[in-house]
Structure formats: structure tokens, C-alpha cells
Chains A and B, each alone.
Chain A
């Protein structure tokens, strides 16, 4: 795949994902700048255009349309590996269900009608080997809901 073709495919994938045109061109220009300087093959450095576009677009997780999302609103909360359990404890009590953990962000969802939202408890386990931790936690009724390096997160309905 030529560099020009890669940039065109990436732009098309971002536009299909309804990324604002200025933003899409900015993202493509940054990839072009990187390739120009590094001399790398874009497919090798960034992966297939469709997949890379998906990774770039997952940044804006904050409000999604409740209608198209089974009555849930989703939101990303800032947290780090050092304060996230305190943050999660508050979120669980407010009916926020953790659906993923990534880069200083806790991705959570809650029913729009917050009064009828399920409440959640959270636990964190640390370990290099995920398998035995999963088995043990599942045995106690916990479901995995995120992983960040050697931290493993679990949720359980209250």
C-alpha cells in the first residue's frame, strides 16, 4: 500500500465514523508528518487504516445517545492507579457500572433514570498471572470489568 493510499483510506475511515472534517484532516496530517520523518511504512507503524481509525475515534467516549444505547449513558471518569478505588467506590454507589479501564480513564455506564440504576461494588487485585485471579474472583461472584498492567478490576452487583 502506498503512503498516499494509506492516508486516503484513513481519511475515508474517519469520515465514515463521522469525525469532524477538520479533526480528521488533522489526524491524517499527523500520521503523514510521522511517516515523512521516520521513513516507516504506515501499515507497519499504524496498522490497517480501518483499525487505526477505530482506535483514534474511541477517544470521545463521554456522552453517548441514551436512545441508541439501551437507555444507558456512558461516561469516562479521570482516575489513576493510586486513587481509582476511592473513585470507583463513589461511582458504584451512584449506580455507575464500570465497563473498561484505560489511560487515566474509567469508562462507566449508568441508566439514564439514575434512581432505578443498579448499585455496584468494586475490587482490585494485583498479579502478573491473570488466570488464577479470575478463577478465584469468579468463584466469589465477581465479574472482571477491566485491566491495567498488573491491576485487575472486578465488579459485583450490590
Chain B
């Protein structure tokens, strides 16, 4: 699911790696280590679900910003719908009592 959550953090606009990690942490997913996050970002970029662009910073090496591609947004929408349907069915099953 982490890959899908990463795409989700980019729904409203571009973010750089550390910003994505902070957003995931704020959302309650815990601290995602760089060693997990960056290989995933690389694969999502390779799959053309994200594009990336370097911007210079005030100091240091600058930041690499990630942006959803049209295909990434489409996949995110599809997966979100599937996930909601799966979660609703599972919740209904967990809540089921006494029916045969």
C-alpha cells in the first residue's frame, strides 16, 4: 500500500522526498525510512507514474520534486475506488452478526 499512499501525497501537487516522508508520518503511517522511500520513488518514476525535476535550494544540493503524471493520477483514482470497495466489503463482513 505504501506505493499507493505515496501517489496520494502528490494528488494536490508536487513534493520532494523528505516532504513526502513527513506527509506520510503526519497521516499516521509512521516514519518511512529513506532506504524504503527512495527506491519506491525511483520505481514509480520508472513506471511513468511520476515525473521529477531538480530545483536549486538556498544552500545544499537543492530538492528533487515529484509530480503525478496523467497515468499516475488515473491509476490513483482507479486504485482508490477499488480500495474503498474492498474496505467496505471487509468492514461489512467484520460487522456481520447473526445472518446466515
Contact = CB atoms under 8 A, between A and B. Distances in A.
A89 interface: no
B34 interface: yes
A82 B85 CA distance: 11
Given A30-B38, A52-B35, A78 B47 contact: yes
Contacts of B38: 27, 30-31, 34, 46, 56
A69 interface: no
Contacts of B17: 30, 33-34
A36 B62 CA distance: 10
B23 interface: no
Contact-residue bracket for chain A:
20 to 34
A59 B33 contact: no
Contact of A55 (B1, B39, B82): B39
B16 A104 contact: no
A89 B14 CA distance: 37
Nearest to B6: A103
A88 B35 CA distance: 29
A64 interface: no
B28 interface: no
A2 interface: no
Among B21, B35, B62, B75, max chain A CB count under 10 A is at B35
8 contacts: A33-B62, A34-B34, A37-B18, A45-B35, A46-B35, A80-B75, A82-B86, A104-B3
Interface of B: 1, 3, 16-18, 21, 33-35, 38-40, 42-44, 46-47, 49, 54, 57, 59-64, 75, 79, 82, 86
